[in-house]
Amino acid sequence: MWTIALTMLLTLVAVILAINFHTPERKVSHRVDHRYSIADPPLKREMGALLGPAIVSGNRIWALQNGDDIFPAMLAAINGAQRTITFETYIYWSGIIGEKFAKALMERARAGIKVHVMLDWLGSKKMLHGLVDEMRSAGIEVERFHPLRWYSLGKMNNRTHRKIMVVDGTVGFTGGVGIADQWTGRAQDPKHWRDMHFCVRGLVVAQMQAAFLDNWIKNTGRVLHGDAYFPALTAIGEQDMHLFMSSPAGGSASMRLMYLIAITAAEQSIDIEAAYFIPDTLMSAELIRARARGVRIRVLLADKHLDSETVRVASKRGWGPLLASGVEIYEYEPTMLHCKMLIFDQSMVSVGSTNFDTRSFELNEEASLNVYDAPFALQMTAIFEQDLRLSVPYSLKNWKNRPWTQKMAEVVLIPIKSQL
């Protein structure tokens, strides 16, 4: 009898694992032809029509550097809220900054402001239950995305990695930062991480609100609407943007396609600043093809301070062909690099929560803000190059001479590469 029960249990575990390892039904597997440049109008048309949502003008963006800039700006926006706050994040851990955010959100909720918080169940595991209970008692609606329940075991691997905060429907924040003490400070040592976050005003904020609402509805079934969430927005700048979302529930690897279209269109330069860099075969091939067109490609990554040893090991296996083609890879030295930014031909910038790996392209809920503005791209290039000065190059010789133990570890990790 026990053998039957064990067989049934093992079968159930196998089925659950198979469901969680399942990738989107529609997956881009063929190269995208180079038909136009980043600056050509067809790129914007396809980004808006093929991928969506539509690109809107009349926006302005501010780049915030590290916790000393990021957290005061976010807290000031919370403290100034008059009607609504919607906030979605992957990491929210207990600590000094977690307490500050909780107190600020609770104060606004007690003042009658409608506050809605979406936390990823896995990413917020280090948040004390007492703090969540206190927030709820203050009137905050706190929801966990895909909490561990018997009826949701097939969704364990689908996490919300989005980082979006919208205040009064008029000001939005997005980027790479999590709510944890590691992000405080100015990236001055290994205990304080390097990251960027962005404050946005203008018409695109409605798309940021819609991105929050996307997962709120999935998780709760409730619609947040009306003027308090979607007020009439006026243009306050001249920058073109759209907030691009991806989700395995959508049935397609849309974030991968967006990256592929931009890489294929680039004619001069591609700068990638990423915490996690594990390009699949197709993505690597497109980067190599871009090099063949004469595109300069610089990739800036975390290394010795990376918070995931398995990712650090697995990522290097595919670097050889990239380095051989002339892709420049650099490793950031001072601390953990958690930025997520791509700059194409110094005219288009993509920032947000998306990592350059299969997990972000296929398994996570992600959101990236695409900014089509040359002055902003030049500003971000300058910041990229500041970080580059604190990095060391990783050469093809380095790659060929990596120890055999690392090569063996890379092989062992191949079966779970898409899960890292």
0.85 cut: is pTM over it? yes
Q: Which residues have C-beta within 8 Å of that of residue 398, sequence separation ≥ 6?
A: none
Q: Do 184 and 94 meet the contact criterion of CB atoms below 8 Å apart?
A: no
Q: Which pLDDT score, from 0 to 100, does residue 147 have?
A: 80
Q: Which pLDDT score, from 0 to 100, does residue 101 have?
A: 98
Q: Which pLDDT score, from 0 to 100, does residue 93 have?
A: 95
Q: Which pLDDT score, from 0 to 100, does residue 362 have?
A: 86
Q: Shortest CA distance to 126 belongs to which of 158, 153, 93, 101?
A: 93
Q: Do 200 and 173 meet the contact criterion of CB atoms below 8 Å apart?
A: yes
> Distance between CA atoms of 366 and 244, rounded to whole angstroms?
8
Angle 232-208-146 from CA coordinates, rounded to 5°: 135
Q: Verify cis geometry, omega within 30 degrees of 0, for the bond prior to 53.
A: yes
> Distance between CA atoms of 165 and 221, rounded to whole angstroms?
20
Q: Which pLDDT score, from 0 to 100, does residue 262 have?
A: 96
Q: Do 85 and 116 meet the contact criterion of CB atoms below 8 Å apart?
A: yes
pLDDT by residue, tens only, the chain of 420 residues: 555 554 544 444 444 444 444 555 556 666 788 889 999 999 999 998 888 799 999 999 999 999 999 999 999 999 999 999 999 999 999 999 999 999 999 999 999 999 999 999 999 999 998 999 999 999 999 999 988 766 656 566 788 999 999 999 999 999 999 999 999 999 999 999 999 999 999 999 999 999 999 999 999 999 999 999 999 999 999 999 999 998 887 655 788 889 999 999 999 999 999 999 989 899 999 999 999 999 999 999 998 888 777 777 778 888 999 999 999 999 999 999 999 999 999 999 999 999 998 888 888 999 999 999 999 999 999 999 999 999 999 999 999 998 888 877 767 765 555 554
Phi, psi of 14 (to 5 degrees): -60, -40
Which amino acid is located at 397 in the chain?
K
> Distance between CA atoms of 139 and 81, rounded to whole angstroms?
15
Q: Which residues have C-beta within 8 Å of that of residue 232, sequence separation ≥ 6?
A: none
Q: Do 118 and 219 meet the contact criterion of CB atoms below 8 Å apart?
A: yes
Which tokens hold the place of 91? 């990491």
Q: Which pLDDT score, from 0 to 100, does residue 413 have?
A: 62
Q: Which pLDDT score, from 0 to 100, does residue 361 have?
A: 86
Angle 353-358-359 from CA coordinates, rounded to 5°: 55
> Distance between CA atoms of 181 and 183, rounded to whole angstroms?
5
Reduced to 3 states, what is the DSSP secondary structure of residue 193?
coil
Helical segments of 221-350, H only: 254-265, 281-292, 309-316, 319-325
Q: Which pLDDT score, from 0 to 100, does residue 68 have?
A: 97
How many DSSP H helices and E strands does the chain contain?
14, 17
